[in-house]
Amino acid sequence: MKQTWQHFQHARVEELFDPNLMLHNYHTSNVKKEVLRVVHVGLLCTQEIPGLRPSMSKALQMLVKKEEELPAPTNPPFVDEKTMELHDPWDTPSYPHGDDSASIANISHSSFYPR
Protein backbone atom coordinates (compact mmCIF):
# COMPACT_ATOMS: atom_id res chain seq x y z
CA MET A 1 0.00 0.00 0.00
CA LYS A 2 2.72 2.42 1.02
CA GLN A 3 4.67 1.79 -2.18
CA THR A 4 1.57 2.27 -4.35
CA TRP A 5 0.76 5.54 -2.58
CA GLN A 6 4.30 6.85 -3.06
CA HIS A 7 4.31 5.91 -6.75
CA PHE A 8 0.91 7.57 -7.20
CA GLN A 9 2.09 10.79 -5.56
CA HIS A 10 5.12 10.94 -7.86
CA ALA A 11 3.11 10.02 -11.01
CA ARG A 12 5.08 6.78 -11.41
CA VAL A 13 2.31 4.21 -11.00
CA GLU A 14 3.43 2.49 -14.22
CA GLU A 15 6.53 1.25 -12.38
CA LEU A 16 4.24 -1.01 -10.34
CA PHE A 17 2.73 -2.72 -13.39
CA ASP A 18 3.58 -6.28 -14.29
CA PRO A 19 5.94 -5.96 -17.28
CA ASN A 20 4.15 -8.89 -18.91
CA LEU A 21 1.14 -6.63 -19.45
CA MET A 22 3.18 -4.72 -22.03
CA LEU A 23 1.37 -1.48 -21.29
CA HIS A 24 4.12 0.51 -22.99
CA ASN A 25 2.81 -0.69 -26.37
CA TYR A 26 0.84 2.06 -28.14
CA HIS A 27 -1.94 -0.44 -28.96
CA THR A 28 -2.68 -0.83 -25.27
CA SER A 29 -2.90 2.84 -24.26
CA ASN A 30 -6.55 2.33 -23.26
CA VAL A 31 -5.54 -0.62 -21.09
CA LYS A 32 -2.90 1.55 -19.42
CA LYS A 33 -5.52 4.23 -18.67
CA GLU A 34 -7.84 1.60 -17.24
CA VAL A 35 -5.13 0.19 -14.98
CA LEU A 36 -4.23 3.69 -13.77
CA ARG A 37 -7.91 4.30 -13.03
CA VAL A 38 -8.21 1.05 -11.08
CA VAL A 39 -5.19 2.04 -8.96
CA HIS A 40 -6.70 5.52 -8.40
CA VAL A 41 -10.07 4.08 -7.35
CA GLY A 42 -8.27 1.55 -5.14
CA LEU A 43 -6.50 4.38 -3.34
CA LEU A 44 -9.82 6.20 -2.91
CA CYS A 45 -11.30 3.03 -1.36
CA THR A 46 -8.43 2.69 1.11
CA GLN A 47 -8.21 6.26 2.40
CA GLU A 48 -7.33 6.56 6.07
CA ILE A 49 -10.57 8.33 7.03
CA PRO A 50 -13.46 5.93 6.33
CA GLY A 51 -15.91 8.78 5.67
CA LEU A 52 -13.89 9.81 2.62
CA ARG A 53 -14.01 6.36 1.05
CA PRO A 54 -16.57 5.88 -1.75
CA SER A 55 -19.34 3.33 -1.34
CA MET A 56 -19.05 0.14 -3.38
CA SER A 57 -21.69 1.38 -5.81
CA LYS A 58 -19.84 4.68 -6.24
CA ALA A 59 -16.52 2.86 -6.74
CA LEU A 60 -18.11 0.69 -9.41
CA GLN A 61 -19.54 3.80 -11.07
CA MET A 62 -16.05 5.37 -11.05
CA LEU A 63 -14.66 2.30 -12.80
CA VAL A 64 -17.43 2.12 -15.40
CA LYS A 65 -17.78 5.83 -16.24
CA LYS A 66 -14.31 6.41 -17.62
CA GLU A 67 -14.98 10.04 -18.52
CA GLU A 68 -15.85 10.96 -14.93
CA GLU A 69 -13.14 12.99 -13.18
CA LEU A 70 -11.84 11.26 -10.06
CA PRO A 71 -11.16 13.18 -6.85
CA ALA A 72 -7.64 13.17 -5.45
CA PRO A 73 -7.20 10.49 -2.80
CA THR A 74 -5.96 11.32 0.66
CA ASN A 75 -3.40 9.32 2.62
CA PRO A 76 -4.16 5.64 3.05
CA PRO A 77 -3.52 4.04 6.43
CA PHE A 78 -0.09 2.52 6.51
CA VAL A 79 0.74 -0.88 7.86
CA ASP A 80 3.85 -1.26 9.97
CA GLU A 81 5.67 -4.16 8.35
CA LYS A 82 7.36 -5.08 11.65
CA THR A 83 4.18 -5.61 13.66
CA MET A 84 1.69 -5.89 10.78
CA GLU A 85 -0.72 -3.73 12.77
CA LEU A 86 -2.91 -1.08 11.21
CA HIS A 87 -2.20 2.40 12.51
CA ASP A 88 -5.40 4.20 13.47
CA PRO A 89 -4.91 7.99 13.58
CA TRP A 90 -7.34 8.34 16.50
CA ASP A 91 -5.86 5.54 18.59
CA THR A 92 -3.25 5.97 21.25
CA PRO A 93 0.03 4.27 20.41
CA SER A 94 0.14 0.60 21.32
CA TYR A 95 3.08 -1.66 21.83
CA PRO A 96 2.05 -5.21 20.98
CA HIS A 97 4.96 -7.03 22.63
CA GLY A 98 5.19 -4.92 25.79
CA ASP A 99 1.79 -5.70 27.31
CA ASP A 100 1.00 -8.96 29.09
CA SER A 101 -2.74 -8.54 28.52
CA ALA A 102 -2.44 -9.20 24.79
CA SER A 103 -4.67 -11.91 23.37
CA ILE A 104 -3.61 -14.67 21.04
CA ALA A 105 -5.65 -15.30 17.91
CA ASN A 106 -6.69 -18.86 17.15
CA ILE A 107 -7.49 -20.17 13.71
CA SER A 108 -8.81 -23.47 12.48
CA HIS A 109 -8.37 -24.99 9.06
CA SER A 110 -10.65 -27.48 7.35
CA SER A 111 -9.79 -29.46 4.26
CA PHE A 112 -12.37 -31.21 2.15
CA TYR A 113 -11.50 -34.32 0.17
CA PRO A 114 -13.71 -36.24 -2.26
CA ARG A 115 -14.76 -39.79 -1.32
CA distance 78 to 84: 10
Query: Is residue 78 within 8 Å of 2, Cβ to Cβ?
Result: yes
> Rounded mean pLDDT of 90-111?
54
> Rounded mean pLDDT of 87-111?
54
Confidence (pTM)? 0.61
CA distance 54 to 46: 9
Domain limits, the chain: 2-86
Question: Each residue of 19-62: pLDDT tens digit?
Answer: 776 655 655 677 778 888 999 999 999 998 999 999 999 999 99
pLDDT at residue 94 above 50? no
Amino acid 105: pLDDT: 63
The alpha carbons of the chain give a radius of gyration, in whole angstroms, of: 19
